[in-house]
Amino acid sequence: MLLNGAEILINCLLEQGVDTIFGYPGGAVLNIYDALYKYQDKITHVLTCHEQGAAHAADGYARSSGKVGVCLATSGPGATNLVTGIATAYMDSIPLVAITGNVTMPLLGKDSFQEVDISGITMPITKHNYMVKDINKLPDIIREAFYIAKEGRPGPVLIDIPKDITGQTAIYEHQEPVEPKRKNKYITREALEKVAKLINQSERPFIFAGGGVIASSSENELKQLVNKINAPITTSLMGIGAYDSNDNLYTGMIGMHGTKASNLLATKCDLLIAIGTRFSDRVLSDREHIENAKIVHIDVDPAEINKNIKVDSYIIGDIKLVLSKLIPLINEKNNLEWLDTMSFLKKQKAIVDRQEEALTPQFLFQKLNEITNGNLIMTTDVGQHQMWAALYYNFKYPRTYISSGGLGTMGYGLGAAIGSQFANKDKLVVDISGDGSFGMNCNELATIVSNKLPIVIIVMNNNSLGMVRQWQNFFYEERYSHTTLNRETNFVKLAEAYGLKGYRVEYKEELDGVLREAIGCKRPVLIDYIINEDKKVFPMVAPGEPISKVICEKDIMELASANVSE
């Protein structure tokens, strides 16, 4: 079949099962948009308000569905506006294919209008990228890009296509997509037996699960392992949802804002079993902090083994395959004394129990737990609200906590909510944001309304850049340099201007009714949730300190009292 390059592109996307693209048109991609017009009955294009919103939407689509997300932008500024979204996906190992247009071949390298070397710009933040210079190679490049995005450790791939390539014609022949095989080259009997021996010998095992468990769809195997050795389990931020947070053996998130139980168990265990995680500096970056424990690392990416933490044993390979082969070699355990220690530590409170008339973060997530019972997809921006969501909402299922972990991208949540809703049309999607993050990409409210997406947006409004302010409070002697916003933005009126239903919640007795009405009305809603600017995320570990040095609210109160006494 003789087709032009743009039509070949669309047909190859259809081969890969793509049903939704997020993008923004421009001169260099006019041929592609003309093809999208012709194929609109087969593939949905979602017009966002900004290319960064398109990248975040494709990312949210991928995280919440397990499929490859696709975004499309024109050359020059359109392409560079994708960069933050591509980097976000790269840091969190999210399968994404970003397609950009470029100037025609004769104009490349001449500083032409809206020309930029997007391949060079994105080289450090993609698994691979392409500049298509031969239309005959276009189909194979597209197929290979999807394969690379999904294979092994997932990640983003960029395809840059000059405009004249999309206008040229070539023969297209349909091919069925090739699904990547699960990596098993290094899953040897010797490696399995060595790890099994360490687990069988341990008396205080502690399991640490990361986003790799979710990426490999290994939640069932993880639960089998937990139950067989009767071990406490923690997750990284990216691993939230890999294990039911309501289960008694779950101890909450680990790391800088991890629970006291998780952080202390990591220092008291005799074996830390790390699965699908990269030992981020926000979790654990110094082996000396848990010097009494041996460490086992299971991961698909060889580059992560011994990169940040020196381990005692490891298995490289697809986690689902590794665990299916490892579990039969492991003895059942009861670990009763160790579980008593876990239970004691789980009772330690990070915040002081007191009756508060004002709205609190905990109260919001308590109500969300009551009303939704874990049956939602929650996207977040980045900051205090992100940590409060991770600490206080009870996630039961994988792919329901959608958040930027590695890059920490403010403005991520709204685009991710759009992508998540398109991928999960029958599910409730709730976006948790802060007033600082919300200001980054609030223009995507128009996208939500235009597409009639029943997303519930909750802005935790403390009139500040809360997390930065918290650090200024702890480490900069309360010099709040440019973190108090004072913007006087009326979020309810802003929501109404865009066509959403807007609510402001200032008192506790208002919240239950507002949440139930917002969820039940099946239309886009924004809730302005007013909290005090000095509310802090607890627990907290100071940068560079051992994770055992957990700062709780009581510690800060006692320190402040001692300073007053002096």
Using one digit for the tens of pLDDT, what is the confidence trace for 304-351? 999 999 999 999 999 999 999 999 999 999 999 999 999 999 998 888
CB 63 within 8 A of CB 94: yes
Is pLDDT at 390 greater than 90 in this prediction?
A: yes
pLDDT of residue 412: 98
CB 470 within 8 A of CB 536: yes
pLDDT of residue 554: 85
What whole-number distance in Å separates Cα of residue 403 and Cα of residue 529?
Answer: 20
pLDDT of residue 563: 58
Cβ partners under 8 Å of residue 110, min gap 6: none
Average pLDDT, the chain: 95
Mean pLDDT for the stretch of residues 267-285: 92
CB 334 within 8 A of CB 200: no
Angle between helix 319-326 and 189-201 (nearest 10): 60
pLDDT of residue 284: 80
Is pLDDT at 291 greater than 80 in this prediction?
A: no
Cβ partners under 8 Å of residue 421, min gap 6: 377, 427, 429, 453, 454, 455
pLDDT of residue 555: 82
Q: Which residues are annotated as catalytic?
A: 51, 113-114, 163, 467
What whole-number distance in Å separates Cα of residue 406 and Cα of residue 404?
Answer: 6
Fold of 2-171: Rossmann fold (3.40.50)
* HEC-encoded secondary structure of 196-213: HHHHHHCCCEEEEECHHH
pLDDT of residue 561: 59
Mean pLDDT for the stretch of residues 122-149: 98
Is pLDDT at 559 greater than 70 in this prediction?
A: no
Are both 189-346 and 361-537 of the same fold? yes
Mean pLDDT for the stretch of residues 127-131: 98
pLDDT of residue 556: 81
* HEC-encoded secondary structure of 468-492: HHHHHHHHCCCCCCCCECCCCCCHH
The amino acid present at 171, given as its one-letter code, is: I
Closest alpha carbon to 382 in 257, 467, 279? 467
pLDDT of residue 204: 97
pLDDT of residue 141: 98
Residues 33-51: b if buried by 16+ CB within 10 A, e if exposed: bbbbeebeeebebbebbbb
Is pLDDT at 496 greater than 80 in this prediction?
A: yes
Is pLDDT at 564 greater than 60 in this prediction?
A: no
Is pLDDT at 566 greater than 70 in this prediction?
A: no
What whole-number distance in Å separates Cα of residue 353 and Cα of residue 93?
Answer: 38
pLDDT of residue 507: 96
What whole-number distance in Å separates Cα of residue 536 and Cα of residue 259?
Answer: 14
- Residue 315, helix vs strand vs coil: strand
Return the CATH number of the domain spanning residue range 361-537: 3.40.50.970
Return the CATH number of the domain spanning residue range 189-346: 3.40.50.1220
Using one digit for the tens of pLDDT, what is the confidence trace for 229-266? 999 999 999 999 999 999 999 999 999 999 999 999 99
Using one digit for the tens of pLDDT, what is the confidence trace for 9-59? 999 999 999 999 999 999 999 999 999 999 999 999 999 999 999 999 999
Is pLDDT at 565 greater than 60 in this prediction?
A: no
Using one digit for the tens of pLDDT, what is the confidence trace for 348-369? 888 887 788 899 999 999 999 9
- Residue 99, helix vs strand vs coil: strand
Q: Which helix (H) or strand (E) holds 23?
A: strand 20-23
**Phi and psi at residue 205, to the nearest 5°:** -75, 145
Domain boundaries, the chain: 2-171, 189-346, 361-537
pLDDT of residue 79: 98
Place 109 in a pLDDT band, splitting at 50, 70 and 90. very high
